[in-house]
């Protein structure tokens, strides 16, 4: 009897592992193994063609510490991230608050606002390149009609405006994710709390600050984490608009890694950049999670 019960338990455990085996194999093949290979190659110098990479130890990591373009790309990605955290999420929250008030055609607005995130980044970049075009762009044409012709410029080719112009494209494409998440969070707030606050004489701003904000703190942090991780990995929009130019004024870590790997044929050094970038993303995510947990528990 005991043997039969043990056999049943083993079959049940084997069956459970059988269900997760395909996902585990997929994860090991396309996540763990590539990371292992990248981490290993980061200690080698390799042009992607030679059969035998040359072991250089920590030379690649010492070199990236002295690479000004690499740190410039980090600073520029951080600049776009700050803009996204402030303006993209503010737009997403404002729209979520408006839709949550049960405006007419609210379902249509939800669909419209969620269209930009599901569009191809390459297509979005090409469309905005036409909008920003220095000679035939819609933006310059609108400025001319408004009597602001002195503001006209080639937005993506001017070092003074290229990075901000790319950030605007990224924010337009990405605000829909935050909008959907924030709207779901707002709809989870009990209506009774708003009614009780209204009975106590609280105005719209007081209801927002004392009812909505405290209950939405975990959602705000979740959206912030997704914004940071998504923006720091911005890639397709830049490839479609500036390719990191003019000069290196719109270079970001992902485009820098790609340029190092394919443009300079330095696969080992590119792998070291990727390893450092991955740990930076991991560390930033962990810090935000800890801050969110501390604020929520406090």
For the chain, which residues make up each domain, given as ranges?
68-297
3-state secondary structure of 55: strand
Considering Cα of 197, then 200, then 204, then 205, what sign does the dihedral take?
A: negative
Dist CA 68 CA 74 (whole Å): 10
3-state secondary structure of 261: helix
Which pLDDT value is given to residue 65? 92
User: What's the pTM?
Assistant: 0.86
Dist CA 49 CA 265 (whole Å): 9
Which pLDDT value is given to residue 4? 46
Which pLDDT value is given to residue 89? 94
Which pLDDT value is given to residue 171? 95
Helix, strand, coil percentages, rounded to 5, for the chain:
75, 0, 20
| Helix or strand (DSSP H, E) at 214 | helix 213-232
Which pLDDT value is given to residue 130? 93
Burial track 84-98 (b if 16+ CB lie within 10 A, e otherwise): bbeebbebbbebbee
Spatial contact of 42 and 271, defined as CB atoms under 8 Å apart? yes
Architecture of domain 68-297: Orthogonal Bundle (1.10)
Which residues in the chain come in under a pLDDT of 70?
1-9, 102-106, 295-298
Residues paired with residue 45 on neighbouring β-strands, in sequence order: 54
Q: How many CB atoms lie within 10 A of CB 126?
A: 13
Dist CA 155 CA 172 (whole Å): 16
Which pLDDT value is given to residue 105? 59
Residue 197 CB burial class (10 angstroms; 0-12, 13-18, ≥19): middle
How many Å is the maximal CA-CA distance in the chain? 91
Spatial contact of 234 and 77, defined as CB atoms under 8 Å apart? yes
Dist CA 205 CA 211 (whole Å): 10
Residues paired with residue 44 on neighbouring β-strands, in sequence order: 55
Q: What is the pLDDT of residues 239-250, one digit of tens each?
A: 999 988 888 999
Which pLDDT value is given to residue 81? 94
Dist CA 113 CA 125 (whole Å): 18
Tokens of 181: 């998440």
Spatial contact of 215 and 189, defined as CB atoms under 8 Å apart? yes
Residues paired with residue 54 on neighbouring β-strands, in sequence order: 45
């Amino acid at each position: 009897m005991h043997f039969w019960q043990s056999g049943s338990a083993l079959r049940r455990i084997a069956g459970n592992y059988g269900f997760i085996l395909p996902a585990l194999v997929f994860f090991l093949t396309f996540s763990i193994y590539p990371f292992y290979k990248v981490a290993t190659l980061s200690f080698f110098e390799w042009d992607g063609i030679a059969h035998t990479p040359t072991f250089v130890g920590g030379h690649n990591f010492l070199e990236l510490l002295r690479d000004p373009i690499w740190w410039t790309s980090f600073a520029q990605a951080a600049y776009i991230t700050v803009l996204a955290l402030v303006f993209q999420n503010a737009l997403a929250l404002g729209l979520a608050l408006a839709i949550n008030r049960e405006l007419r055609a609210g379902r249509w607005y939800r669909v419209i606002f969620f269209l930009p995130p599901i569009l191809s980044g390459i297509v979005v970049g090409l469309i905005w390149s036409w909008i920003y075009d220095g000679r035939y762009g819609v933006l310059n044409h609108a400025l001319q009609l408004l009597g602001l012709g002195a503001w006209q410029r080639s937005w993506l080719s001017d070092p003074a405006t290229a990075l901000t112009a790319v950030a605007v494209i990224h924010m337009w494409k990405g605000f829909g994710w935050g909008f959907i998440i924030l709207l779901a969070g707002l709809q989870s707030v009990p209506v009774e709390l708003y009614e009780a606050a209204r009975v106590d004489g609280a105005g719209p701003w007081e209801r927002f600050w004392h009812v909505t904000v405290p209950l939405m703190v975990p959602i705000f942090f979740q959206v912030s984490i997704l914004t940071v991780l998504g923006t720091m990995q911005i890639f397709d929009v830049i490839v479609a608009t500036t390719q990191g130019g003019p000069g290196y004024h719109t270079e970001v870590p992902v485009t820098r890694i790609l340029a190092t790997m394919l443009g300079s044929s330095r696969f080992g050094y590119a792998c070291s950049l990727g390893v450092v970038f991955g740990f930076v993303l991991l560390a930033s995510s962990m810090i935000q999670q800890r801050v969110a947990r501390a604020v929520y528990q406090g």
